[in-house]
Amino acid sequence: MKWSFFCFITISVLLIMWIDWPKIKGKPAGGKAAFISLLILVWVLSMLDLPNTPGPTTFYEFIFKPLRGLVEK
């Protein structure tokens, strides 16, 4: 993880909250929940190293590789 990128995203998320929260304060709870959940999602995804994260294919290979001997001759 690049700490400078993570710090930049954290500061950006806090700045967005600080600027937009007064506008959202009077909105329904669903709008507030969507706003907060999207910001948290972006913040969590910024912590991951997505280009080097294994995808679903790796997961399927991990599960079904031991069963390969039963299917192939």
* Chain segment 42-71, per-residue pLDDT in tens: 888 888 877 787 888 888 888 888 888 887
pTM check: above 0.75: no
In 1-73, which residue ranges form alpha helices assigned H by DSSP? 3-24, 29-47, 56-64, 68-71
- The answer to whether the Cα torsion of 62, 67, 72, 73 is positive or negative is positive
